[in-house]
Amino acid sequence: MSGYDVIVVGAGLAGLRCATRLAEAGRDVVVLEADDTVGGRERTDVVDGFRLDRGFHVLNPAYPAVQRWVDIDALALRRFPVAVGVRLDDRLVRLAHPLRHPLSVPETLRSGLVRPADLPALARWAAPTVLSARAAKVGPDRALDETWDRAGVRGPLREAVLEPFLAGVLADDRQQTSDAFVRLLVRSFALGRPGVPAAGIGALPAQLADTARRAGVGIRLGHRVVSTRDRARGWHVGIEGRDAMTARAVVIATGLDPSLDVPLPRPRGLQTWWFAAPAAPSRDAALRVDGRRQGPIVNTAVMTNTAPTYAPRGQHLIQATCVMPSEASEDGIRHQLADIWDADTRPWRLLRCDDVAGALPAQNAPLRLRRSVRLGDGRYVAGDHRDTASIQGALVSGQRAAEAVLADLAR
């Protein structure tokens, strides 16, 4: 039976960051991962030569935790345009970031989606937090739809652009998410330009795992933890089909685990459809939404317009994302995609449909930016459900869990 200072259960972003910090502090630590690769939700599979992320993911380099603990240059980030295409009944409108693309402002004003009263309302809602994150952390917090109503954010800008775009980001098509959380998210989009690693989102946890190994962390794949039992000298960790291990402390970083005796936010889910196409339906790399709301798709993108590495040479990859629960059929998805892209989708080949029921934890109002990582019995918990539902939150929670373990072991 092997003994360690700390066992970390789960090799997702939070678990890997936690283990690295512990090892850098001189602790003997091992990560036990049930899957055959690291990453948790941040995973990339190769299917017929196409790189398919487990659901549609983007990495925002503006996140402070990413800037601190990730080598962004090494990921060869392929960045999306800071813009969104909106399919309307009679035309396609492209709205771009006004500060980064000032020449796009006349097109935005001519689109009919932005009325004269909309810009002041939008500024009242978002500008204070864009200028300072503290603005989202003070004062009462309400559900997004109620705050938009109070700020006067309504009409086509809200219904045809903001609602479908954010539904795909938040896995919430009813705008019940915390307004404070959404404003912090909008701030990160305003300051950064999200993208995908050239090798897929799985390259992010792969890099973190390499960093952890260099720090001295042992990572054991295919090790499914089935029990944690408190013993006189620490924790006894049972592993399916393998010898048990012991440790002075255990960090559980496996996502929203219902077996934990700790209040957890409920998960929100997203469904992503992946299609291979012999030709791209558009040269535009911007995310596209259906401003008419005529189907379950909340966003779609030609991934290979941003990252050609996601497909074999001469092929293209298109993603379409829906909010779960979803009863979408392949025929229905193809029909809506044909409308959104104004393209014949019959030659497109369905590669996979990902149902990610636990895509992210719900962030309801009032927002809690910090939840305890201590279970109070020598076990700890890490994951974006302890902080914010994001890559930022996952990394920060792993760091916080490690610091708690180090402080307690020192005592």
- Where residue 154 sits, what CATH number does that domain have? 3.90.660.50
Q: Are residues 128 and 243 in the same domain?
A: no
pLDDT band at 28 (very low <50, low <70, confident <90, very high): very high
**Domain end residue (candidates: 321, 339, 361):** 361
Q: Residue 261 belongs to what domain range?
A: 2-43+202-265+367-410
- Answer yes or no: is 69 within a domain: no
My answer on whether 286 and 387 are in the same domain is no
3-state secondary structure string, 209-225? HHHHHHHCCEEEECCCE
Amino acid sitting at position 382: A
Give the strands of the sheet with 267-277, arranged side by side: 92-96, 83-87, 287-290, 297-302, 316-323, 267-277, 349-361
Measured in degrees and rounded to the nearest 5, phi and psi for residue 369 equal -75, -20
Query: Does residue 2 register a pLDDT over 80?
Result: no
Q: Which of 67, 267, 268 is nearest to 166 (CA)?
A: 268
pLDDT at 411: 84
Structural domain includes residue 316:
yes
| 340 part of a folded domain | yes
In-domain check, residue 50: no
pLDDT band at 260 (very low <50, low <70, confident <90, very high): low
Report the chain's mean pLDDT, rounded to a whole number.
93
- Compute the 3-state secondary structure of the chain and give helix, strand, coil in percent, each to the nearest 5: 35, 30, 40
| The total number of structural domains that make up the chain | 2
Same domain, 353 and 207: no
pLDDT tens string 271-323: 999 999 999 999 999 999 999 999 999 999 999 999 999 999 999 999 999 99
Residues 339 and 253 in one domain: no
Residue 62 lies in a domain: no
Amino acid at site 374: R
Residue 171 in domain: yes
Q: Are strands 316-323 and 267-277 parallel, antiparallel or unpaired?
A: antiparallel
Q: Is residue 312 domain-shared with residue 214, that is, in the same domain? A: no
Both 12 and 153 in one domain: the answer is no
Neighbours of 289 (CB within 10 A): 26
Last residue of a domain, one of 320, 343, 361: 361
Per-residue model confidence as pLDDT tens digits over 325-356 = 999 999 999 999 999 999 999 999 999 999 99
The residues, ordered by sequence, that sit 6+ positions from 267 with a Cβ below 8 Å of its Cβ are 256, 357, 358, 359, 360, 361, 362
In the numeric block, which tokens belong to residue 287? 């995310």
> In this structure, are 160 and 96 located in the same domain?
yes
Q: How confident is the model at residue 259, as a pLDDT?
A: 64
Residues in the chain: 411
384 and 251 within one domain = yes
Answer yes or no: do 234 and 281 share one domain.
no
Under 8 Å CB-to-CB from 411, ≥6 apart: which residues?
none
Whether residue 288 is found in the same domain as residue 348:
yes
* pLDDT value at residue 114: 84
Q: Which of 361, 379, 401 is the last residue of a domain?
A: 361
pLDDT above 70 as % of the chain: 97
Backbone angles phi, psi at 121, to 5 degrees: -65, -45
Q: Binning pLDDT at 50, 70 and 90, where does residue 395 land?
A: very high
CATH number for the domain harbouring residue 9? 3.50.50.60
Domain annotation covers residue 53: no
Region 89-95 average pLDDT: 91
Residues 168 and 287 in one domain: yes
Identify whether residues 19 and 142 lie together within a single domain.
no
153 CB-near residues (< 8 Å, 6+ apart): 118, 121, 122, 125, 162
Residue 10 in any domain: the answer is yes
pLDDT at 258: 65
